[in-house]
Amino acid sequence: MIGREFSATILQMTMGMTAGLEEALSELQKLELIYEKNLFPETEYTFKHALTQDVAYNSLLIRSRREIHQKVGKAIEQLYPQRQEEFYETLAHHYSKAEDPEKAYRYMKLSGDKSFRNYSTLESFRHYEEALSALGKLPDTAENKRKRIEIALLAREPILALGFKEGSLEILKEGQKLAEEIGDRSSLAQLCGFIAHFLSYKGDWVQGLNYGERALAEAEKIGDVDTAVRVTTDFIGPLCYRGDFQKAADIVERAVVLMEKIGKTSDRFGTSFPLHPTLIAVHGYAKGMLGDFAQGEPCCERVVRLALESKEPRTLAIAEVICGFVSVVRGKDLESCQRHLRSSIRSAEEARFSPYLPLAWTCMGWAEWMLGNLEAARDCGRKAVSTQIEGSLSVMSSLAHLLLGAVSLDSGDLVGARTSMEEALRLSQASGERYIEGRAGAWLGRVLGKADVYQAAVAEERILQGIRLLEQLQIKPWQAEGHLLAGELYADTGQEQKALASLMKAQGMFQEMEMTHWLSRSQRALDRLQV
């Protein structure tokens, strides 16, 4: 009833016994049903077997159980007013069993907050679910609707950390509906923004972008800085997943300037960590994908410094993986890139922040591949696939299969290379990641041409389709990579003039962006062509 472990003081307050309690407890000890656990700071007992506790509990009438749970909750509140945080979960349990939804909600919410601070994200999500369940038993007043909206907003952090766990969308959409009902436009904007992030992560781009645009429109109507920043943070996810890096960079830059102008760079805006470093990281990432490494890399390095200062592992996990990603795209300073990625993996594991682990392992694999360590690269790719969050159709999976395809290609396993490249293309198309689709298509064309020279025309069209899509999205680093792959295909099939034109174009772009690894690869291809 009180629990498998219980204190004599709480038992006395619950049962109202002023005499005979010690004798009763002593008799239970003699019968070996309970035993003494602690004497200090107060006497505590525990049931010897869980079955004994269950029998005792089930022997009570339901009404009596509710009453005792209520008394236990009140006793804990009275005895430990300065230590209540230690008992949030216990109080939530007792008031839930007592069918006291108001107090059950209160302590479930506090338990959710506590669990998330301690990086217990799954427990946090479950506590918030139970808080909503408790609120559902209360009258449908405006105040209780506000409480449900508050829980939906609080649940965003564990939802993200868990990779958008099943049941998450229902919580968010219920919060959105309630915010519309009571005219809470700030909460409505924030929930629409996060729903946009959720839907886009799951590959529903049409609805995701619609929700994102609505969130921005609502935030602009309100004119509230906090809401605008939070909505921006959520909407850039869909934009980046989709490959619209220019728009993402522009939106983020405005938000960062605004935060710095009003002195809110350390504000958390209702999240568990400062958003200023995260937005700077995304700005660096977007600029890097556009080929503007002169702006992108300094942003990434700056955000790593800010994250280290904050000592917040989630912030550091995001900062380091984005820094590593941009370095991998550029193909320069790979040893430094690997240090960032190792740090990201450590921080993500420490904070139990799983969404970024697959991407960190994928980027580590690409760095190993560029350094010529094929087995290490394959191991990283497999780890990326194995740590992929179930149900996710994201950059983490498509790029991991693309990596495995590149490793197989360089290992001479053309069948494995084609299988992996086709899976990368399928996943990127299913998730709507057009920029990955462009890259995967170009690489698949290279594999097809390598496997069978008689498929040269098909291979060429694959590569050119990929390049056209990347040009449309302004993804310059991977455009240049596509021209290199086309040049290598033309060289293999004896089309020297086309090969020379494509390789020279790739080389010029690599030189402009100082993409060291890729520049060396294009030069080697040109040297072979001229022999």
Position 128 pLDDT exceeds 90: yes
Annotate 223-250 with b (16+ C-beta within 10 A) or e (fewer): eebbbbbbbbbbbbbbbbbbbbbeebbe
**Percent of the residues in the chain that have a pLDDT greater than 90, as a whole number:** 52
pLDDT 10s digits, 320-369: 999 999 999 999 989 889 999 999 999 888 877 777 888 899 999 999 99
Position 511 pLDDT exceeds 90: yes
Element (H, E) at 77: helix 62-79
Distance CA 164, CA 201 (A): 8
Q: Which of 64-73, 132-141, 252-261 has the highest mean pLDDT?
A: 132-141
**Residue 35's pLDDT is what?**
45
**Residue 63's pLDDT is what?**
55
138 touches 102 (CB < 8 A):
yes
Position 219 pLDDT exceeds 70: yes
Element (H, E) at 45: strand 44-47
Confidence of residue 503 (pLDDT cuts 50, 70, 90): very high
CB atoms near residue 50 (< 10 Å): 9
Closest CA to 402 of 377, 372, 371, 430: 377
Distance CA 436, CA 178 (A): 37
Q: Give how far the C-alpha of residue 427 lies from the chain's centroid of Cα atoms, to the nearest Å.
A: 18
**Residue 216's pLDDT is what?**
86
**Residue 97's pLDDT is what?**
83
* DSSP structure string for 446-498: HHHHHH-GGGHHHHHHHHHHHHHHHHHHT-HHHHHHHHHHHHHHHHHTT-HHH
**Residue 383's pLDDT is what?**
92
**Mean pLDDT for the chain overall:** 85
Position 475 pLDDT exceeds 90: yes
pLDDT 10s digits, 360-412: 999 999 999 999 999 999 999 999 988 875 544 455 689 999 999 999 999 99
Least confident of 15-19, 313-317, 468-472: 15-19
**Residue 202's pLDDT is what?**
76
* DSSP structure string for 321-352: HHHHHHHHHHT--HHHHHHHHHHHHHHHHHHT
Query: DSSP 3-state assignment of 200?
Result: helix
Confidence of residue 110 (pLDDT cuts 50, 70, 90): very high
Choice between 135 and 318, residue whose per-residue pLDDT is larger: 135
DSSP state for residue 389 in the 8-state scheme:
P
Tell me the two tokens of residue 104. 């059950």
Element (H, E) at 527: helix 516-530
Mean pLDDT of 89-103: 88
Degrees, nearest 5: CA angle 332-336-342: 125
Query: What are the structural domains, with CATH classification, of the chain?
Result: 1-59 (1.10.10.10)
Least confident of 17-31, 133-147, 170-184, 373-387: 17-31
Distance CA 518, CA 503 (A): 11
pLDDT 10s digits, 271-326: 767 888 889 999 999 999 999 999 999 999 998 998 888 888 888 888 899 999 99
Distance, first Cα to last Cα, the chain: 85
Closest CA to 98 of 122, 70, 62, 130: 70
Orientation angle between helical segments 516-530 and 496-513, nearest 10 degrees: 160
Distance CA 365, CA 395 (A): 14
354 CB-side CA count, 13 A: 19
**Residue 212's pLDDT is what?**
87
**Residue 26's pLDDT is what?**
54
pLDDT 10s digits, 476-491: 999 999 999 999 999 9
Polymer length in residues for the chain = 531
DSSP state for residue 173 in the 8-state scheme:
H
pLDDT 10s digits, 165-181: 888 999 999 999 999 99
